[in-house]
Amino acid sequence: MNAKERLDKVFAKHHRSRDALIPLLQDIQEIYGFLPPEPMAAAARFCRIDPVEVYGVATFYAQFKFSQLGKNTVMVCQGTACHVMGGARILEEVMNQLGVEPGQTSKDGMFTLERVACIGACALAPAMVVNKDTHGRMKAEKVTEILNAYRNH
């Protein structure tokens, strides 16, 4: 199935109402990995909302992305426990190695970096999550090795 067919299928699944907007946007993001403008405008027409309102709603939620993400997502926790255990040092190391700020994707398209407030793994602080794998008791020296593992995967 190509993206267009998948999009049609997503629209068929939902009701044409305002309430359908967020689940609809989630499904669209599932297809593209982010929310491109054209499907968002289509969602607006579908839900009978003005495109500008859809854009306003979508940008409110951290879960929605507006550009293509990297192949892997790196989330570095900056919650209270991780902060106390040196989370900032881990984040700085990842930023240096990838050459990006939180919210950005590395030039090679391999990693998107995000800073998150708490991932609920305080016992493992400082923690970092790559895709769905949690890496606890992080040390700055371990960052290269972990990233390389995903790079070569």
Partner 1 sequence: MATGTLKINGQEVEVEKGSTILQAAEKAGIYVPVLCYHPLLPLEEACRICVVEDVRGDWSTLVAACVYPVRNGMVIQTDSPMVIEARKTIMELLLSDHPNDCMTCYATGSCELQDLAHIYQVKSTKYEGARHKYTVDSDPSPYLFIDMNKCILCRRCIRACHEIQGADIWTKVGRGFDQRISTAFGLPLAEAGCEDCGHCADFCPVDAIGYRVGRGEVRSWQLKGTATICLHCPSGCRAQYDTLKDKVVRVVGNAESPSNRGALCKAGRFNFNFINSPDRLRTAAMQNAQRELVPCSTDEALDAAAAALQKVRDSHGVNSIAVLCGSMLTNEEYYLAQKLARCALFTNHVDNASGAWQQAIHEAMSASLGFGAMPGSLQDIERAGAVLVMGSNTIEKHAMAAIRARKAARGGAPLIVVHPSPVPMTKTANMHLAIKAGSESALLQGLIKVILTEELYDKAFVEKCTQDFAKLERSVQKINLGDVAEKTGLSEEQIRDAGRLYASRRPACLVHGAEPLDNTANESFYRNCVNLQLLLGSVGVPGGTPCLMGFGGNGQGAGDFGALPKYLPGYRPVTSSPARKTAAKVWGVSPPDKPGMHCSKVFEAIERGEIKGLYLIGLNPLELVPNKKRLESALARLDVLVVQDCLSSELCEAAQVVLPAVTFVEKRGTATNCERRIQRLQPVLALQGDVRSDFDLINGLLGRLDGELQADSLESAFAEAGQLISDLNGLSHETIAPEGVQWPVGDGPAGAERIALPEGEKSKFKFAAVK
The contact set with partner 1 (CB under 8 A) reads 37, 40-41, 50-56, 59-60
Minimum distance, C-beta of residue 120 to partner 1, in the bound complex (Å): 21
Minimum distance, C-beta of residue 65 to partner 1, in the bound complex (Å): 13
- Which pair of tokens denotes residue 11? 């629209």
Task: Give whichever of 10 and 35 is closer to partner 1, judged by the CB atom.
Answer: 35
Task: Give whichever of 59 and 148 is closer to partner 1, judged by the CB atom.
Answer: 59
β 133-135/111-116 pair status: unpaired
Minimum distance, C-beta of residue 131 to partner 1, in the bound complex (Å): 25
Q: Cβ distance 73 to 112 under 8 Å?
A: yes
Task: Give whichever of 40 and 138 is closer to partner 1, judged by the CB atom.
Answer: 40
- For the purposes of burial, counting CB atoms within 10 Å of the CB of 62, is it exposed (0-12), middle (13-18) or buried (19 or more)? exposed
Q: Cβ distance 58 to 23 under 8 Å?
A: no
